[in-house]
Structure 1
Amino acid sequence: MSVSCLRVVGSSRAALHLIRHFVSKTVTRSAHCLFTSFISKDVWHSTMNLRALTTGRGLIHHTNLVNSPMNYCTGQVRLNCWNCNRRLDKSVFFCVSCKVVQPPEEEASYFKIMDCDYTFTLDTNKLQKRYLQLQRSLHPDNFSQKSVKEQEYSESQSALVNKAYKTLLKPLSRGLYMLKLEGMRIEEGTESGADSYFLMELMEINEALDEARTPEEANKIGRDTKEKLSELTEQIDAALHKGELQAAKALLTQMKYYANIEEKVKEKLSKFM
Structure 2
Amino acid sequence: MNYFELFSLPTDYSIDKTRLSQTYRDLQKQYHPDKFAMQDDKTRLQAMQKSTEINDAFETLKDSCLRAQYILKLSGLDIELEQRTLQDTDFLMQQMEWREKVADFTEDDEDEIEAFSKDISKLVSDLEADIETALKNKTLEITANLIRKLKFMLKLQVELELLEEKLFD
TM-score scaled to structure 2, two decimals?
0.91
Report the CA distance between 1:240 and its aligned residue. 1.0
Q: Is 1:227 paired with 2:122?
A: yes
Give the equivalent residue in structure 2 for 1:75: none
2:82 aligned partner, one-letter code? E
Corresponding residue for residue 56 of structure 1 = none
Deviation at 1:248, TM superposition (A): 1.1
Mapped to 1, the partners of 2:121 and 2:48 lie a distance apart of: 36
Contact 1:209 1:221 in 2 (8 A): no
- Cα contact 1:205–1:221 (8 A) shared by 2: no
Q: What does residue 188 of structure 1 align with? A: 82
SS at match of 1:119: coil
The correspondence for 2:26, drawn from 133, 136, 140, is: 133
Q: Structure 1 counterpart of 2:7, which letter?
A: M
Distance in 2 between residues matched to 1:262 and 1:184, nearest whole Å: 26
> Which amino acid in structure 2 is aligned with residue 241 of structure 1?
K
1:139/1:158 contact within 8 Å kept? yes
Please tell me the residue identity of whatever aligns with 1:120: Y
Distance between the aligned counterparts of 1:209 and 1:252, measured in 2?
22
- The residue identity in structure 2 corresponding to 1:223 is K
Q: Is the 8 A contact 1:225 1:262 kept in 2?
A: yes
Higher helix fraction (1 or 2): 2
Match of 1:250 in 2: 145
Look up the SS of the partner of 2:59 in the other structure.
Answer: helix
- Paired position in structure 2 for 1:110: 3
Relative CO higher for 1 or 2, CA cutoff 8 Å, sep ≥ 6? 2
User: Are residue 264 (structure 1) and residue 164 (structure 2) matched?
Assistant: no
Question: What is the Cα-based RMSD across aligned positions, in Å?
Answer: 1.4
- In structure 2, how many angstroms separate the alpha carbons of the residues matched to 1:136 and 1:265? 37
Choose the corresponding residue for 1:197, options 80, 84, 90.
90
* Change beyond 3 A, Cα 1:188–1:218: farther
> What is the CA distance between 1:164 and its match in structure 2?
0.4
- Cα separation, partners in 2 of 1:176 and 1:197, compared to 1, 3 Å: same
- Which residue does the alignment assign to 2:71? 178
Quickly say closer, same or farther: Cα 1:207–1:189, change in 2 above 3 A.
farther
Specify the alignment match of 1:149 in structure 2.
42
Per-residue CA deviations over 1:30-81 (Å, capped at 9, x if unaligned) read xxxxxxxxxxxxxxxxxxxxxxxxxxxxxxxxxxxxxxxxxxxxxxxxxxxx
In structure 1, list runs of 5 or more residues that go unmatched: 1-107
Distance 1:198 1:236 in 2: 16
> Which residues of structure 2 form unaligned runs of 5+?
none
> What's the offset of the Cα at 1:154?
0.8
Would you say the 8 A contact 1:140–1:154 is kept in 2? yes
CA distance in 2, matches of 1:197, 1:240: 23
Alpha-carbon distance, 1:220 to partner: 2.0
* Structure 2 Cα separation of the partners of residues 251 and 241 of structure 1: 14
CA distance in 1, matches of 2:29, 2:118: 36
One-letter amino acid of the counterpart of residue 212, structure 1:
F
- Distance in 1 (alpha carbons) for counterparts of 2:150 and 2:126: 10
Greater Rg by CA: 1
1:163 and 1:247 mapped to 2: Cα distance? 26
Q: Which amino acid aligns with 1:230?
A: S
Q: Which residue in the other structure is 1:72 paired with? A: none
Give the number of equivalent residue pairs: 165
